[in-house]
């Protein structure tokens, strides 16, 4: 029996993870499950999977969760301390699929107890890549990528020497607005941005795909996880989402990873690694597909993408500032306080302010400093909006 915990169990990645576990329930002992507002889903999964400890991120929902689990002996918790406790409960494998910087601290707990961390929460690596990888190293814990592109790169590197890599190409679908006339982007609504052409994912990452903030995070994730130079990383728009990534070696070979757009592949690979087991994903019919297309991302359509290289060059806590500013700008777009096209400019303004802040620019990479940077960056987005409105 493998003991597993799922942080962010009620989300898109969490539910896909549970789908795999549900197929072989006798092989897994589910220790902790966490969610936020979707108490009914969380409680139903906890009952069926016989979880030991269940946590909602919302402090004020503790009683609802307790009621929903009445008649069971499942332990419940709520709030930040309980999320940390969920990450710290001893297990073999933890899925980190909370969305946003909120996933960092519980994921670090999982590494500290030496568990294998299946990392969907790319924000952890963007905010605190050095801290995450060092914590893993110090505790002989392993981080396995779950983002489809990074899982693809990881698989292309099996048996290879990272020193022989001359380029890593990650693909981007181009998101909801890849074919819109540029001048229409200003008018894009939250509903339109939340409608991904190929992947079925949570709302926030779906909107981030339309803006390519998601790809910017993934470029930084590639740099932090594989330790490669920023200049080796490329992004190509590939509307079919069939090739997830390619790794180029110094002899000119380019190894591509292809598969249906179904996150259960990357989740299953991380769940069964280093073995490959059968997974319930569609098999590609190459002849029916006929052709695959690629094009360069247009910087005018995707101004957020280029910010990734500035962040990687700056290093330190700039990733934490970048991610937090992005999260806050996205909050404002979802709340309809700003336009889709305003997000990138706000984040860039925050990065400029970060550069000029002598307290943060040279501060060490500790969890406290990451959280402080996160706090300031969110506040600076709001201040920048007030300035622009006034
Ligand atoms: P989602 O919005 O569907 O689910 C998010 C989960 O996090 C839910 O369980 C929710 O309850 C929980 N959560 C939300 N706010 C929280 C908070 N403040 N504290 C604690 N828990 C909180 O998101 P998702 O699409 O499943 O994405 C999860 C992560 O995986 C993200 O980091 C995303 O970038 C990454 N990812 C997702 C996909 C995908 O296909 N959905 C693909 C690649 C990477
Ligand atoms: Mg991805």
What is the pLDDT, as a whole number, of residue 358? 86
Cα distances (angstroms) measured from residue 334 to each of 37, 144, 272, 340:
17, 31, 36, 9
Report how far ligand 1's centroid is from the alpha carbon of 330 (Å).
14
**Token pair belonging to 328:** 């806050």
Report how far ligand 1's centroid is from the alpha carbon of 68 (Å).
22
**Contact (CB, 8 A) for 178 and 193:** no
For the CA of 38, the closest atom of ligand 1 is 11
Residue appearing with tokens 């069926």: 48
Q: Pocket of ligand 1, candidates 6, 8, 108, 281: which has the most ligand atoms within 8 Å of its Cβ, to mutate?
A: 8
Indicate the pTM of the whole model: 0.98
**Contact (CB, 8 A) for 118 and 270:** yes
pLDDT in tens, the chain (390 residues): 999 999 999 999 999 999 999 999 999 999 999 999 999 999 999 999 999 999 999 999 999 999 999 999 999 999 999 999 999 999 999 999 999 999 999 999 999 999 999 999 999 999 999 999 999 999 999 999 999 999 999 999 999 999 999 999 999 999 999 999 999 999 999 999 999 888 899 999 999 999 999 999 999 999 999 999 999 999 999 999 999 999 999 999 999 999 999 999 999 999 999 999 999 999 999 999 999 999 999 999 999 999 999 999 999 999 999 999 999 999 999 999 999 999 999 999 999 999 999 899 889 999 999 999 999 999 999 999 999 998
Backbone angles phi, psi at 22, to 5 degrees: -60, -25
Q: Nearest 5 degrees, angle CA 199-CA 312-CA 334?
A: 40
Residue appearing with tokens 């499942």: 74
Report how far ligand 2's centroid is from the alpha carbon of 215 (Å).
7
Report how far ligand 1's centroid is from the alpha carbon of 164 (Å).
34
Ligand 1 in contact with 263 (CB < 6 A)? yes
Ligand 1 in contact with 79 (CB < 6 A)? no
What is the pLDDT, as a whole number, of residue 235? 98
Report how far ligand 2's centroid is from the alpha carbon of 72 (Å).
37
What is the pLDDT, as a whole number, of residue 199? 87
Q: Pocket of ligand 1, candidates 14, 77, 99: which has the most ligand atoms within 8 Å of its Cβ, to mutate?
A: 99
Ligand 1 in contact with 41 (CB < 6 A)? no
What is the pLDDT, as a whole number, of residue 105? 98
- 77 Cβ partners below 8 Å, 6+ apart? 53, 54, 55, 56, 62, 85, 86
Helix (H) or strand (E) holding 169: strand 165-172
Report how far ligand 1's centroid is from the alpha carbon of 35 (Å).
9
Determine the Cα–Cα distance for residues 260 and 162; give it in Å rounded to an integer.
26
What is the pLDDT, as a whole number, of residue 381? 98
What is the pLDDT, as a whole number, of residue 244? 98
- Upper half-sphere CA count for residue 315 (Cβ side, 13 Å): 12
- Picking from 80, 24, 25, the residue whose alpha carbon sits closest to that of residue 47 is 25
């Amino acid at each position: 029996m493998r003991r597993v915990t799922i942080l962010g169990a009620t989300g898109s990645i969490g539910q896909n993870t549970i789908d795999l576990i549900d197929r072989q329930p006798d092989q897994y002992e589910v220790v902790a499950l966490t969610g936020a507002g979707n108490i009914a889903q969380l409680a139903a999964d906890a009952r069926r999977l016989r979880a030991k400890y269940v946590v909602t991120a919302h402090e004020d929902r503790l009683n609802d969760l307790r009621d929903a689990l009445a008649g069971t002996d499942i332990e419940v918790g709520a709030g930040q301390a309980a999320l940390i406790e969920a990450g710290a409960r001893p297990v073999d494998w933890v899925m980190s699929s909370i969305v946003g910087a909120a996933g960092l601290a519980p994921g670090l707990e999982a590494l500290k107890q030496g568990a294998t961390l299946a990392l969907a929460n790319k924000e952890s690596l963007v905010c605190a890549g050095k801290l995450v990888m060092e914590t893993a190293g110090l505790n002989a814990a392993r981080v396995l990528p779950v983002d489809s592109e990074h899982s693809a790169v990881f698989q292309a590197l099996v048996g290879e020497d990272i020193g022989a890599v001359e380029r890593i190409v990650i693909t981007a679908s181009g998101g909801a607005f890849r074919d819109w006339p540029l001048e229409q982007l200003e008018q894009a609504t939250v509903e339109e941005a939340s409608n991904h052409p190929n992947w079925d994912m949570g709302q926030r990452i779906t909107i981030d795909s339309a803006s390519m903030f998601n790809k910017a995070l993934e470029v930084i994730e590639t740099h932090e996880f594989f330790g490669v130079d920023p200049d080796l990383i490329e992004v190509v728009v590939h509307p079919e989402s069939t090739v997830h990534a390619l790794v180029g070696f110094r002899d000119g070979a380019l190894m591509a990873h292809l598969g249906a757009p179904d996150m259960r592949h990357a989740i299953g690979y991380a769940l069964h690694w280093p073995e490959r087991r059968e997974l319930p994903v569609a098999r590609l019919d190459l002849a029916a597909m006929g052709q695959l297309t690629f094009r360069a991302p247009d910087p005018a359509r995707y101004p957020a993408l280029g910010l990734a290289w500035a962040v990687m060059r700056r290093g330190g806590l700039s990733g934490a500032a970048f991610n937090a500013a992005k999260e806050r700008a996205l909050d404002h777009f979802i709340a309809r306080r700003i336009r889709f096209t305003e997000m990138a400019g706000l984040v860039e303004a925050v990065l400029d302010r970060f550069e000029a802040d002598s307290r943060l620019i040279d501060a060490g990479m500790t969890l406290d400093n990451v959280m402080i940077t996160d706090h300031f960056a969110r506040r600076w987005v709001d201040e920048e909006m007030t300035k622009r409105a006034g």
